[in-house]
Structure 1
Amino acid sequence: MTVAEQNNCALAHTLDMGGDGLRVAIKDCIDIKDMVSACGSAALIDSAPATENAVVVDSVLSNGCKIIGKANMHELAYGMTGVNTTFGTPVNPHWPDRIPGGSSSGSAVAVAAGLCDFAIGTDTGGSVRQPAICCGVYGIKPTFGRVSRDGCHPKDSSLDCVGVLARTAEMLVKGMEAIDPTFERQTLTKAPRLARVKSNVEKKLGDALVYALMEGLPDAAYVKLPHMEAAFEAGMTVIGVEAAVAYGPLVDAGKPLGADIRTRLINARKITDESLGAAEDIRTTFTNEVDAIFEDYDVLVTPALPIIPPTLAEAKDPATVLPLTKLLRPFNLSGHPAIVLPIPVGPDHLPAGIQIIGRKGEDAFLCAIAVWLTKTLTAFQPEDKS
């Protein structure tokens, strides 16, 4: 039996590294010394091993954590389903017929399955937050640039953030303490000012989440972000250009790539300078739009996903996958910190949840709000058992 089969494909490699503290899984696009960072791709399996640890790996080791393995992922961190034909698709522990999400699929599955206390993933367009909700766990994308990306792949990105996945909001805080030496936990002294962002979501999903929020937060205001859709599209443009620069040479070299990845990279190379310039204009406009709302409110709230995550069979149609990051990707473009909190919905308790967004640099305050919400809203009470 292979390593992947033993852990339902959550881990590409098992390890026993570090202290006796919290158990952590590291996404396979993050360097660990003397190991190949294959990034979920057959094209990179024969790459040279890393000569040193990524900064975030050294950080968790210095905090006494035990690294239990490198987590599987969607190939080249360039996809949302988590389906991986080379290393195997991680099995969603609570909803095995549904996608685990991507690209930090193995990180989410390892956490949901109890293989580790928290996992480290990367989030370029929702790649921590989306699989977190798909697998029913918590996930944070910190403020852009707050957590070092040194030793992460691809090397250069204006969107990507190193983040944490955990089974509770409290463990999410512990994970942030482990990866970020500047992080100092906070405790709320008064209720935060919340505003719900008007969002178009699947009705059965929206009704359930609105009820869960209104029951505990009846005074939360409604606000609009007029450029939210444009920010999603702009984020797709920017990630396409940056992915093409990083991995387009693999196409030229005839390296083995998944059909979906090869097609996306080929299409990404067709993005014009004019389109990229327009996307950067939207980045500025949307960022200013979000910052302006934070003059009156402490945190914004959206549904995490606009639809219930599709089944593995449904996800074969790209059209069912594209909407999954509509509410997540805009905040990669703007750089604001964001956390997703799982709230399964309906009689079948299908995967869903909410997202909270905070001011840049106020990651600890946002984490404190996440912990507060799990203690305030009845929807979280059965799940908060850290």
Structure 2
Amino acid sequence: MSTFVSRLQLGGTGPAVAVKDSIDIAGHRTMAGSRALAGVPPAARHAEVVSRLIDAGWSIAGKTTMHELAFGISGINDYAGTPVNAQAHERIPGGSSSGSAAAVAAGEVGIALGTDTGGSIRMPAACCGVVGLKPTFGRVSRRGVHPAESSLDCVGPFAATVAGIVAAMAVIAPDFDAARAGHTDQPFRIGLLADVHANAAILAAVEAAVRLAGLAIRTVTLDGMAAAYQAAMPVINFETWAAFGHLTGTGGLQPDVEERLLAARSVGRAELAHAEAVRRQFTAQVDALLKEVDAIVLPTLPELPPTLAAVREGTPILGLTALVRPFNLSGHPALTLPVPLPGAALKAGLQLVGRKHQDETICAIAACIERAIAADGAAS
């Protein structure tokens, strides 16, 4: 199915960008992949990120499909469309920014925008074999993005290369320093996260890619990962219910989304208070570790994306976000980069986590690794 819910021709003659359908484009409905929002009026104005792209002379190519209400991670959407994963047609594209990742992977556009509340940029990027960045929380404007209120959600870019991510960030984040993101000759210190529960081949591929780049590596630990993963979900549920709970019972939601949304209403204040305590503790732990290293490295996904058929038959997949969701809770920037996985047609996702407001550094490190992989491939 198509990655786009609508094709557009807005802006100038610069790079073509696809925009997730939870981001406002003036004159067009923002339906967030949901039949329940089919009757909303067209947006009165562009989201700030869209305005920045147009003002820079870039072209808006269209709005991309997504997991309904950004409340799911498979990318399956029988109403708005399930985009094809160009890496492996039989596997899920990942969500919730499924269409944006798939559009870049298929070469329909060079750059796309998505949103990431619990892994929704990094997960589909890793599924589809492209680069995706969740910026530092708050660094990129969310004005004109749905839901309007979120303590976790970030707007960020997908691209085929790290250079595309840097170019997009230089437009949508006014304080982003593209020159600093290009300083790839620094003596970067990498903290390779230990005790990660992931497929052994993926773990080996991630470490091999960092070593191929010749970066200084030390093994590090983050004891709070599991607690942060668990604590982020009540926050997501509470805020999603507040934004979209009124759509339940209308007959417009897919059954899986309706079921999860109804379950989300049960989050209580005590559960939220505990989540906030975990947020503070985990954020402090990550901050402390990043005083010792320039970036933390770990896989993006603990295993390869499952097949569409398996997910439709009920295979649980929430655990696929175990390595990405914690950094939504903490607010740190995180980038996923595709790396070779020996013996597999698909690529693995290597995740880099950096200091807050130093998104440029993880882009520079990612570019180092990307260049080393390209050189190794050319030599073999």
Q: Could you tell me the TM-score, scaled by structure 1's length? A: 0.94
In structure 1, the partner of 2:94 is 101
Secondary structure of the corresponding residue to residue 308 of structure 2: coil
Letter in 2 for 1:129: R
Indicate whether 1:48 and 2:44 are aligned.
no
In structure 1, the partner of 2:235 is 238
Structure 1: gaps of 5 or more residues: 1-7
In structure 1, the partner of 2:356 is 360
- Mapped to 1, the partners of 2:135 and 2:374 lie a distance apart of 24
Among residues 284, 292, 295, which one is paired with 1:288 in the alignment? Answer: 284
In structure 1, the partner of 2:206 is 209
- Mapped to 2, the partners of 1:318 and 1:176 lie a distance apart of 37
In structure 1, the partner of 2:369 is 373
| Distance of aligned partners of 1:170 and 1:380 in 2 relative to their CA distance in 1, 3 Å threshold | farther
- Mapped to 1, the partners of 2:45 and 2:126 lie a distance apart of 32
In structure 1, the partner of 2:128 is 135
| Equivalent pair of 1:241/1:269 in contact (CA under 8 Å) | yes
In structure 1, the partner of 2:244 is 247
Letter in 1 for 2:237: G
The within-5 A match list for 1:308-323 is 308-316=304-312, 319-323=315-319
Indicate whether 1:118 and 2:111 are aligned.
yes
Among residues 350, 358, 370, which one is paired with 2:346 in the alignment? Answer: 350
Among residues 327, 333, 336, which one is paired with 1:337 in the alignment? Answer: 333
Residue 382 of structure 1: how far off its partner (Å): 4.5
- Mapped to 1, the partners of 2:317 and 2:377 lie a distance apart of 30
Residue 218 of structure 1: how far off its partner (Å): 6.9
| Equivalent pair of 1:241/1:268 in contact (CA under 8 Å) | yes
Secondary structure of the corresponding residue to residue 118 of structure 2: coil
Indicate whether 1:183 and 2:179 are aligned.
no
Indicate whether 1:146 and 2:168 are aligned.
no
| Distance of aligned partners of 1:317 and 1:360 in 2 relative to their CA distance in 1, 3 Å threshold | farther
| Equivalent pair of 2:184/2:367 in contact (CA under 8 Å) | no
- Mapped to 1, the partners of 2:28 and 2:212 lie a distance apart of 49
- Mapped to 1, the partners of 2:115 and 2:278 lie a distance apart of 23
- Mapped to 1, the partners of 2:374 and 2:191 lie a distance apart of 18
Residue 379 of structure 1: how far off its partner (Å): 6.5
- Mapped to 2, the partners of 1:299 and 1:309 lie a distance apart of 25
- Mapped to 2, the partners of 1:52 and 1:85 lie a distance apart of 28
| Equivalent pair of 1:73/1:105 in contact (CA under 8 Å) | yes
- Mapped to 2, the partners of 1:333 and 1:297 lie a distance apart of 20
| Distance of aligned partners of 1:235 and 1:380 in 2 relative to their CA distance in 1, 3 Å threshold | farther
| Distance of aligned partners of 1:319 and 1:225 in 2 relative to their CA distance in 1, 3 Å threshold | farther
Q: Deviations over 1:310-346 (max 9, x none)?
A: 0101222555411111110100000000100011413
Letter in 1 for 2:36: A
Secondary structure of the corresponding residue to residue 313 of structure 1: helix
Q: CA RMSD in A?
A: 1.5
In structure 2, the partner of 1:77 is 70
Secondary structure of the corresponding residue to residue 151 of structure 1: coil
Residue 255 of structure 1: how far off its partner (Å): 4.0
Indicate whether 1:66 and 2:59 are aligned.
yes
Among residues 255, 267, 273, which one is paired with 1:277 in the alignment? Answer: 273
Among residues 81, 86, 95, which one is paired with 2:79 in the alignment? Answer: 86
Letter in 1 for 2:247: L
Residue 166 of structure 1: how far off its partner (Å): 0.3
- Mapped to 2, the partners of 1:215 and 1:66 lie a distance apart of 36
- Mapped to 1, the partners of 2:321 and 2:214 lie a distance apart of 25
Residue 373 of structure 1: how far off its partner (Å): 1.8
- Kindly report structure 1 stretches of 4+ aligned residues shifted beyond 4 Å: 379-383
Among residues 1, 17, 31, which one is paired with 1:24 in the alignment? Answer: 17
- Mapped to 2, the partners of 1:109 and 1:40 lie a distance apart of 15
Letter in 2 for 1:272: G
Letter in 2 for 1:283: R
Q: Deviations over 1:19-69 (max 9, x none)?
A: 000010010000000110000000001101100000000000011111110
| Equivalent pair of 1:9/1:87 in contact (CA under 8 Å) | no
Q: Deviations over 1:353-378 (max 9, x none)?
A: 210011001112221121122123x3
In structure 2, the partner of 1:4 is none
Letter in 1 for 2:84: V
In structure 2, the partner of 1:194 is 190
| Equivalent pair of 1:298/1:359 in contact (CA under 8 Å) | yes
In structure 2, the partner of 1:155 is 148
- Mapped to 2, the partners of 1:255 and 1:47 lie a distance apart of 16
- Mapped to 2, the partners of 1:202 and 1:334 lie a distance apart of 25
| Equivalent pair of 1:132/1:165 in contact (CA under 8 Å) | yes
- Mapped to 2, the partners of 1:211 and 1:184 lie a distance apart of 29
Q: How many residues align?
A: 374
Letter in 1 for 2:281: T
Identity among equivalent pairs (%): 44
Structure 2: gaps of 5 or more residues: none
Letter in 2 for 1:15: L
- Mapped to 1, the partners of 2:168 and 2:256 lie a distance apart of 32
Q: Could you tell me the TM-score, scaled by structure 2's length? A: 0.95
